[in-house]
Amino acid sequence: MSRIGKMPITIPNGVTVEVSQGNVVKVKGPKGELTQQVDKDLEIKIEDGVLTVHRPTEQKRHRAMHGLYRSLIANMVEGVSNGFVKELEVVGVGYRANNTGQLLELILGFSHPVMFYVPDEVKVTASQEKGKNPIVRLESHDKQLLGQVAAKIRSFRKPEPYKGKGIRFVGEVLRKKAGKTAAK
């Protein structure tokens, strides 16, 4: 049996989970509301504040869906109760980040600033401390959307392997390459 799929999901106080017709899971909490369509073959049971996902057979497809949808539902419950945070570090001389509401302005060494409108479900803040790299902090209750937005921002200037300049996640370890050596 799937190690991830068989793990129960404890529903915290203040969070409600509803399973409607057609296996649509709706999770409501203090941070927001999320819905997810679950595969029709899987069975979702809620008993005494604990949600479990069951599969009908041991087919490869059912085994794959079992762990997937259990993880998606667990992330939804975690998101509406606590939320998720991703931080991006802008590394490079003259590289800056500012935000005005949901509009993120990045100065990344191009001839023009990069303007990016962050979706309303994601809260964005850009901070700059003297002597440190600018940090872009993204917060949301939707883990999937948060990851997509962070990946899009990172794609504007990926970290390069020689000097390490670019946008990277805080705590991301980059493998640096040695540059060319002068020939004699």
Tens-digit pLDDT profile for residues 52-106? 999 999 899 998 899 999 999 999 999 999 999 999 999 999 999 999 999 999 9
Q: What does the domain layout of the chain look like in residue ranges?
A: 9-81, 84-169
Q: Quick one: pLDDT at residue 168?
A: 94
What value does the CA radius of gyration of the chain take, rounded to a whole number of Å? 21
Which pLDDT score, from 0 to 100, does residue 30 have?
93
Asked if the domains 9-81 and 84-169 are classified in one and the same CATH topology, the answer is yes
Asked if the model's pLDDT at residue 140 lies above 90, the reply is: yes
> What does the angle CA 46 – CA 48 – CA 52 come to, to the nearest 5 degrees?
35
Confidence (pLDDT) at 183:
58
Determine what percent of the chain is predicted with pLDDT higher than 90. 77
List all residues 6 or more positions away from 44 whose beta carbon is below 8 Å from its beta carbon: 19, 23, 25, 38, 51, 52, 53, 54, 73
The answer to whether domain 9-81 has CATH 3.90.930.12 is yes
Look up tokens 């000097």; give the residue: 163
Q: How confident is the model at residue 178 (pLDDT cuts 50, 70, 90)?
A: confident
Confidence category of residue 5, pLDDT binned at 50, 70, 90: confident
CA dist 139 and 85 (Å) reads 5
Domain 84-169 CATH class label? alpha beta
Distance CA 45, CA 53 (A): 7
- pLDDT mean over 153-175: 92
Please report the pLDDT score of residue 184 as a whole number. 57
Question: 134, 124 in Cβ contact below 8 A?
Answer: no
pTM: 0.89
